């Protein structure tokens, strides 16, 4: 993957500035968001590495074979290394600190298998949580990228599904890996894993002109003493590695997906107004005529009242991308939809005139947003419109459910052909407001994340991280994107598009 270049001194200069900005303002550009997220990650790692603490009791190191003790009354820096209570964050560690006259004493458990700390992968995971609070605390072997998961590769190197990084660097060679290292930015990382052992280091600075990285990491002992801060810390900060050394030790460059997304994503909805969109209301007499304010933008929210049928459509056409939509249902339903399951949708690859299909929507492929069935597929068009889609289907009681393992291909070409129901949709689904089945992927009265991959002649749908539907064999592979108003109030707070030119398998 190619990464956009940003001048490193500019990022370093803005790290502190944007850390405070993030708490009070909404970023208005992708580059601002990226810088803010990177600043939060780096700031956390430095703070976790430098917090001072003095044990009130001797604390044997987590691995007794190494015969080291954090000694009572002596000063240490950074969360101590342990693989027992490894998931402690800086904030949780502070709960075990008692400050007296400006001196911080650790008063928590002192047994070798109970004292509070973290390890290399937990420290980076906790730093990344500052940018993405939902990021899990992953072990090193889980940090090798395998899209679409939590981390992504930096640079154009081939992974080939290896679990061992020596195989990855050997297959790609030094020149390819060096070009990838050169694209790393503050807040990214390098990771190695071999024979169930591994290590991860967070990037603080990249001196690409001299082919070297400066990192922060949490590590163990060397010759019986902690490696960092003159033997007083299990963290190292601003430690230097050449690209050649990274290659020799089989480190591969990776990034937190959320930060990487911020580098590349296009904000289709800017959070302020409807710039970049056209509104169509059935029967209104033309584009951008909306007398009842069905579509409004305010304070980062795109509200669709649902009072009239219609849609809001991008002015630009797109192909080969990942679209992310975050939505939450409002309270109101109207007309024939009163009492029915709240309904909307995202129309992909829209073409022709806006409102051409039934006087309401553009011809397209619909990813349905509906209570209990978000992720269902429909064709918005007629048999002669040149649209078709194939899905691997298992039929149950006359209904067609996506079944990726045992399904048989069925093709539809028009709205009248019916739909393809998403994986996991309740067999007891009812068209009533508030429908929710036990174990449903959708969240009630909360924000939901719908991710649509539209790559070539294929579409895949993920709902709150769950793979729920796939169609292929599409004749229409590019077009505009439309959000529906269909008799129910719905709110959108994120509509972002990321160009995507990589295979999904």
- Asked if residues 83 and 119 have their Cβ atoms less than 8 Å apart, the reply is yes
Residue 293 lies in a domain: yes
Read off the pLDDT band of 504 (50, 70, 90): confident
Q: Containing H/E element for 94?
A: helix 90-94
Better-scored residue on pLDDT, 135 or 490: 490
Contact between 477 and 350 under an 8 Å Cβ cutoff? The reply is no
Q: Do 50 and 161 sit in the same domain of this protein? A: yes
Task: Name the E strands within 195-300.
Answer: 197-207, 212-218, 221-222, 225-226, 235-242, 252-256, 266-267, 277-281, 295-298
Quick check: is 1 in a domain? no
pLDDT at 196: 84
In a domain, 216, yes or no: yes
How much is the pTM?
Answer: 0.67
> pLDDT tens digits, residue range 444-464?
999 999 999 999 999 999 999
DSSP string, 292-336: T--EEEETTEEEE--SS-EEEEESS-B-SEEEEEEEEEEEEE-GG
Beta-ladder partners of 497: 266, 323
CATH number at residue 306: 2.60.120.560
Count CB neighbours of 86 within 10 A: 21
- 229 domain residue, yes or no: yes
Query: How high is the mean pLDDT of the chain?
Result: 91
Domain identity same for 272 and 309: yes
Q: How confident is the model at residue 263 (pLDDT cuts 50, 70, 90)?
A: confident
Residue 218 CA to residue 140 CA, distance in Å, equals 13
Considering the domain architecture, whether residues 236 and 305 belong to the same structural domain is answered as no
Domain presence at residue 3: no
Model pLDDT, residue 28: 46
Burial classification of residue 100, based on how many CB atoms lie within 10 Å of its CB (0-12 exposed, 13-18 middle, 19 or more buried): exposed
pLDDT digits (tens, 9 = 90+) for 173-189: 999 999 999 999 999 99
| 124 shares its domain with 249 | yes
β-pairing, 59-60 vs 69-70, is: antiparallel
* Higher local confidence (pLDDT), 259 or 252: 252
Model pLDDT, residue 31: 66
pLDDT in tens, 316-356: 999 999 999 999 999 999 999 999 999 999 999 999 999 99
Instruction: Decide: 204 and 50 in contact? Cβ < 8 Å.
Output: no
| pLDDT at site 90 | 97
Q: Looking at the structure, do residues 321 and 203 belong to the same domain, yes or no?
A: no
The string of pLDDT tens digits covering residues 103-150 is: 999 999 999 999 999 999 999 999 999 999 888 888 888 888 864 478
Query: Rounded to whole angstroms, how far apart are CA atoms 138 and 243?
Result: 25
Domain that holds residue 279: 266-499
Q: Which residues pair with 103 in a beta bridge?
A: 100
2 domain-assigned = no
Number of domains in the chain: 2
Look at residue 439 in the predicted model and tell me its pLDDT. Answer: 81
């Amino acid at each position: 993957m190619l990464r956009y270049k940003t001048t490193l001194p500019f990022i370093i200069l803005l790290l502190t500035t944007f850390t405070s900005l993030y708490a009070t303002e909404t970023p208005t550009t992708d580059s601002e968001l990226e810088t803010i997220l990177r600043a939060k990650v780096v700031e956390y790692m430095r703070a976790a590495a430098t917090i001072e603490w003095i044990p009130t009791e001797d604390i044997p190191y987590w691995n007794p074979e190494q015969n080291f003790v954090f000694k009572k009354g002596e000063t240490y820096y950074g969360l101590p290394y342990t693989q027992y209570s490894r998931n402690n964050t800086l904030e949780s560690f502070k709960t075990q600190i008692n400050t007296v006259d400006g001196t911080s004493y650790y008063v928590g458990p002192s047994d070798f298998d109970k004292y509070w700390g973290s390890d290399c992968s937990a420290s980076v995971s906790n730093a990344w949580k500052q940018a993405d609070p939902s990021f899990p605390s992953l072990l090193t072997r889980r940090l090798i990228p395998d899209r679409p998961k939590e981390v992504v590769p930096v640079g154009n190197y081939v992974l080939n599904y290896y679990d061992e990084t020596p195989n990855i660097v050997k297959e790609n060679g030094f020149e390819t890996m060096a070009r990838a290292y050169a694209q790393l930015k503050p807040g990214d990382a390098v990771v190695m894993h071999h024979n169930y052992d591994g290590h991860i280091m967070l990037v603080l600075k990249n001196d690409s002109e001299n082919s070297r990285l400066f990192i922060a990491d949490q590590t163990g002992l060397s010759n019986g003493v902690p490696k960092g801060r003159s033997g007083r810390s299990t963290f190292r900060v601003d430690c230097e590695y050449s690209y050649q050394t990274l290659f020799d030790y089989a480190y591969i460059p990776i990034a937190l997906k959320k930060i990487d997304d911020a580098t590349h994503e296009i904000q289709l909805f800017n959070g302020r107004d409807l710039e970049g969109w056209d509104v169509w209301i059935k029967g209104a007499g033309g584009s951008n005529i909306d007398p009842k304010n069905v579509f409004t933008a305010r304070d980062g929210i795109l509200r669709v009242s649902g009072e009239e049928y219609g849609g809001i459509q991008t002015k630009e056409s797109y192909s080969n991308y990942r679209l992310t939509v975050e939505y939450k249902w409002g309270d109101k339903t109207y007309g024939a939809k009163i009492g029915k399951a709240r309904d909307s949708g995202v129309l992909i690859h829209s073409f022709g005139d806006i409102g051409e299909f039934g006087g309401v929507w553009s011809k397209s492929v619909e990813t349905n947003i509906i209570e209990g069935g978000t992720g269902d597929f429909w064709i918005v068009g007629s048999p002669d419109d040149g649209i078709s889609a194939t899905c691997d289907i298992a039929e149950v009681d006359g209904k067609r459910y996506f079944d990726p393992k045992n399904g048989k291909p069925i093709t539809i070409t028009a709205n009248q052909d019916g739909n393809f129901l998403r994986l996991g949709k309740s067999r007891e689904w009812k068209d009533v407001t508030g429908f929710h089945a036990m174990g449903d992927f959708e969240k009630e009265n909360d924000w939901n994340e719908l991710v649509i991959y539209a790559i070539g002649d294929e579409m895949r749908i993920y709902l709150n991280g769950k793979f729920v539907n796939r169609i292929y064999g599409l004749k229409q592979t590019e077009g505009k994107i439309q959000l529906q108003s269909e008799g129910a109030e719905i709110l959108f707070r994120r509509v972002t598009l990321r160009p995507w030119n990589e295979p999904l398998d």
